Amino acid sequence: MNKKYTYIINNKITRKWARIIFALLISSFLFAFGMKFFISSAKTFSSGLGAIPQLITYITSLDQKYFSILYLAINIPLLIVFYFLVKKKFIILTFLWLLLQLGWGQTMEFIPGIKSADPFAIGLYDKPINGISASERMVTEKWAIIVQPMIGAIISGIGMSIAWKFGASTGGSDIIIYYISTKKQKSPGKIITVMSLGVALTMIIIQTSMKQVPVFQTNQGTKFSNPTSAQMLFGPITWGTLGYVFVSSAMVSILYPKYKKVEVMISSSKYEQIAKYLKYSGYKHGYNISSVKSGYTDKEVKTIRTVMLFLEHKDIVKKLREIDPNVWVSVTIVKNVYGNFNAIMID
């Protein structure tokens, strides 16, 4: 093989991996920052299996710095099992993401203002007052403990989306979600919502049974050391957790609509060149070519109709406009497709 050609190929591969690693660095930072700065101080639960190490740190004397370590430990068995069930590249990149997340999590322990961050002054990490522990005290600002996790959800959700977009995940239940998503060809956002709700609510019920959940303050200036189970179960932790789950999964659905499909209708005088491009460019979906009469010009126009992935349509439309600057393209969201649909380029 020509040395120059080999150099070009190797250079492209190097740049591709550099982009992936940089993206995972950003992704893991956003996730760790959102968790540490907004989620942990509100004692709400994140999505998926990340709620398990959170529960452990909430109900024990373990410091929050152990969250990243516990989360990595929980993921090891999953990575081993699913290494043989899904794409190995996905598992390797997810493991890399987990290591980066661990690094960011531990680093943030030494950054002033982040280790004990409480941006809305919720106060759940304060020392006991009058013998009443922080976990038993009432939360006076209802909006704060709901809004704060939602801000964290936006930040963490962006981090999650970046990881998914570059072929990795944030680990935990995302590994299981990836498996289900590829088998069923369903976008991960909806699956994340269902699974995260189940896990998070289970953690809340466990925490409630252990009498470790803060509740809303009902009498100004009064502290209740023995809130009822109903007060705890339907308290701020639950609403904050629900907000986090729905917002973070919505971010993934919006930023990474993996299996979302669109119907593209193309009208062009250069339809033969466009058809040739679709045929020989590696385009993986079927398409139909038909003749229609233009109501505007009374001329016969060739129309190409095809269904493709939302994630690929922008690049293809861009190429079509290069072939024919006057091409007319209509893009319509497709709700369902029944039958085989080739999604190998994103699986």
Q: What is the mean pLDDT of the chain?
A: 78
What is the predicted pLDDT for the residue at 125?
A: 47
Residues paired with 303 in a beta bridge: 267, 290
Contact 324, 269 (CB under 8 A): yes
pTM confidence score: 0.74
Look at 5-9, 92-96, 192-196 and tell me which has the smallest mean pLDDT.
Answer: 5-9
Mean pLDDT of 166-182: 89
Q: How confident is the model at residue 211, as a pLDDT? A: 65
Question: 227-234 long-range contacts, Cβ below 8 Å, gap at least 24?
Answer: 227/136, 227/138, 232/207, 232/208, 233/204, 233/205, 233/208
CA distance 52 to 247: 20
Least confident of 52-66, 99-113, 209-223, 323-337: 209-223
Q: Across residues 275-302, what is the average pLDDT? A: 82
Residue 220 has what pLDDT?
A: 47
* pLDDT of amino acid 53: 78
Provide, rounded to the nearest whole percent, the portion of the chain with pLDDT above 70.
Answer: 76
Query: What is the DSSP track for 25-53?
Result: HHHHHHHHHIIIIIIGGGT---SGGGHHH
| pLDDT tens figures, 61-97 | 666 667 778 888 889 999 999 999 988 999 999 999 9
Domains defined for the chain, CATH in brackets: 3-255 (no CATH), 261-334 (3.30.70.120)
Asked whether residue 231 carries a pLDDT value surpassing 70, the answer given is no
pLDDT for residue 163 is more than 90:
yes
Give CA–CA dist 217/222, Å, rounded. Answer: 8
pLDDT score, position 159: 93
Contact 47, 38 (CB under 8 A): no
Coil vs helix vs strand at 85: coil
Least confident range from 84-98, 173-187, 333-347: namely 333-347
What pLDDT does residue 9 have?
A: 64
Query: Is residue 183 scored above 90 in pLDDT?
Result: no
Beta-sheet strands, E only, within 146-237: 215-216
Structure tokens at 302: 């060739």
